[in-house]
Structure 1
């Protein structure tokens, strides 16, 4: 090949390169056309395929998201009666029975919760992105699960029997830390805040402190717990509710 190229003139070499380039371009175009044709065939198949028990015959080359039973579009249809957002395939008026069901407007939550939920500040955006974690900081009961398996990013709970929530004793037992409802019975709000931050890493202290004050001011159960603590004998360690 080297001797052949050396014997060719400049025009011959350029013509040979152009021929090779056109051949590669045609080959790529044919491959692209075949890929598009295969995709169209798979799309036509999926649009009419029966997905019943399809998981037992799963084909990774098929894009199941193209099936009309799976691709339901965006929730961008607005109900003319109540303003609820619906998918295009939903029955019109299903949300409010064509205006027959009228729900009262929700009462805005007290501050600072309202600003955290509806504000545009950095604190608000952080809170909205972590509402589940902040909710867990103030949970009063245990889920009753003792075995947790870490598999990647998703912890797995193994629970036997009926699911229930345990309240437990109002005060911790000897050589144990305050958890769940017991945190509400600690000496002062500063100790409660420190304990919540110790259990829940990554939460912002200022937000936790504001939510803690909110619960102590507006939550009926928290106020009831404070009354129970004042009436509790100092040597009672196993009182349960």
Structure 2
């Protein structure tokens, strides 16, 4: 199955959707969605703008921004509270969009110790304890 582009906007909260997510009783020309704000019944406040440095890393074209994007998965891992273990198998990757991977077999969640070993620097979730 192939999804359309993420180009359809909820008329209430402006969340982006795939056309295939539309409510069955709505039309393709004016699709309605309920998975985001329940048709306008749920109202979430907007996020505040991030600090300029963070915004520039995500949207800029500087050397620092390029470096950031090349290593973003490593940065996410540093801040993770758990890690996954599995056997990765080849799968068709979409061009652009969210990175995804296919797994084969069981998926394991590996948790490290809550506190660092004596004499070692804290890492991962230990930084926050």
Higher relative contact order (CA 8 A, sep 6+): 2
> Shift of residue 129 of structure 1?
4.3
1:74 corresponds in structure 2 to: 5
Bigger-Rg structure (1/2) = 1
Q: Structure 2 vs 1, CA of residues 75 and 103 (structure 1 numbering), >3 Å: closer, same or farther?
A: same
1:100 corresponds in structure 2 to: 41
Please say if residues 88 and 104 of structure 2, whose CA atoms lie closer than 8 Å, have aligned partners that are also in contact. no
1:87 corresponds in structure 2 to: 18
Identify unmatched segments of 5+ residues in structure 2: 24-31, 91-100
Please say if residues 87 and 104 of structure 2, whose CA atoms lie closer than 8 Å, have aligned partners that are also in contact. yes
Aligned to 2:19, the other structure's residue is in SS state: coil
TM-superposition CA deviations, 1:137-185 (whole Å, max 9, x none) = x34656386xx87878x8x89879x735223442356xxx65724985x
Give the TM-score normalised by the residue count of structure 2.
0.55
2:94 corresponds in structure 1 to: none
1:130 corresponds in structure 2 to: 71
Larger strand proportion of the pair: 2
Aligned to 2:117, the other structure's residue is in SS state: coil
Separation of aligned partners in 2, 1:116 and 1:75: 24
Separation of aligned partners in 2, 1:97 and 1:149: 38
Task: Please tell me the root mean square deviation across aligned C-alpha atoms, in Å.
Answer: 3.9
4+ residue runs over 4 A deviation: 148-152, 156-160, 181-184
2:111 corresponds in structure 1 to: 165
1:109 corresponds in structure 2 to: 50
> Shift of residue 103 of structure 1?
0.8
Separation of aligned partners in 1, 2:14 and 2:73: 27
Larger helix proportion of the pair: 1
Separation of aligned partners in 1, 2:126 and 2:41: 46
Give the TM-score normalised by the residue count of structure 1.
0.34
Q: Structure 2 vs 1, CA of residues 168 and 144 (structure 1 numbering), >3 Å: closer, same or farther?
A: farther
